[in-house]
Amino acid sequence: MSTPGTPSFQPLYLQIKALMVKSLEAGEWRPGEAIPSDLELASRFSVSQGTVRRAIDALADDNLVVRRQGKGTFVATHTEETVSMPRFLRIRRDDGVDEHPGSRLLDVRRGKAPADVARALDLKPGEPVLVLTRVLEFGGVPVVVDEITLPAALFRGLTRAKYEAYQGSMYGFFETQFGVRMLKARERLKAIAADARTAAILGVAPGTPLLAVERVTTTYGDRPVEWRRGLSTTLHHHYLNELG
């Protein structure tokens, strides 16, 4: 019988995985780069190739690395998402066309974390944050208004000009410019009535039902590093979710 609370037996390959996560977190292997080969890692950790493989499989399951046969295993990155669909974006066109939306930054300002956001971000209420407001446009039509709150301490030097100079996705920007890697997210969806300002941006009548998506995004160790709230018209778009 195992005492509740006692950490149950952890297989070797998960221990190896944990070591590798540390290397990733410490930046020993950087996004986009290849990590050492199976055999190198096997000798480094003094385990068999098969055990290293299982550890890497687990990392690949968590989307921390990507394996490419014949080439190597690469640290996952948000900077290669410009071609495909951003990994965390679930809004789609109703007609099924897989369009990559454009992003338009409306505003960057500093502020203090309100109580609820502070709780979600593990900050003390009133700690300095950055608040970005942006619009996602499908085919030039505004569909989503995002309000993105970031702990100022992690994103020192983020300005509107800096973001606009960057070519690529927002998470790619965070990753390359601030070393903050967005790994997981938890979203809570609600339906709300459009306020006047959002309605104006989205070109709908105030009071129109909008899809509200509140997201807490985390990095290594499930540490929350982003809080955002997106409001979407769902006249010609929807939020897609696959249950498996």
List residues near a second copy by CB under 8 A: 62-63, 87-88, 90, 184-193, 209-212, 232, 234, 238-244
Query: How far apart, in whole angstroms, are the C-alpha atoms of residue 63 and residue 45?
Result: 22
* 130 touches, from DNA, a second copy, none (C-beta below 5 to 8 Å by class): none
Query: How far apart, in whole angstroms, are the C-alpha atoms of residue 160 and residue 171?
Result: 15
* DSSP string computed for 187-228: EEEEEEEPPHHHHHHHTS-TT-EEEEEEEEEEEGGGEEEEEE
* DSSP string computed for 52-78: HHHHHHHHHHTTSEEEETTTEEEE--G
* 39 touches, from DNA, a second copy, none (C-beta below 5 to 8 Å by class): DNA
CB of 22 to DNA, least distance (A): 17
Closest to a second copy by CB, 18 or 165: 18
* 210 touches, from a second copy, DNA, none (C-beta below 5 to 8 Å by class): a second copy
Considering only 28, 33, 40, 116, the residue that binds DNA (CB under 7 A) is: 40
Binding mask 63-102 for DNA (x = CB under 7 A): ----xxxxxxx-----------------------------
Cβ–Cβ under 8 Å, residues 238 and 92:
yes
Closest to DNA by CB, 71 or 190: 71
* 51 touches, from a second copy, DNA, none (C-beta below 5 to 8 Å by class): DNA
Considering only 19, 32, 54, 184, the residue that binds DNA (CB under 7 A) is: 54
Nearest Cα neighbor of 137 from 108, 190, 99 is 99
Separation of first and last alpha carbons in the chain: 33
Segment interacting with DNA, rule: CB under 7 A, options 33-41, 109-117, 131-139, 161-169: 33-41
Beta bridge partners of 108: 132
Query: How far apart, in whole angstroms, are the C-alpha atoms of residue 172 and residue 148?
Result: 15
Which CA distances in Å does 215 have to 7, 100, 133, 188, 189?
30, 20, 14, 7, 9
Considering only 44, 53, 93, 238, the residue that binds DNA (CB under 7 A) is: 53
Q: Is 62 in the site for DNA (CB under 7 A)?
A: no
CB of 51 to DNA, least distance (A): 3
| DSSP 3-state of 162 | helix
List residues near DNA by CB under 7 A.
2, 8-9, 11-13, 15, 35, 37-40, 47-51, 53-54, 56, 67-73
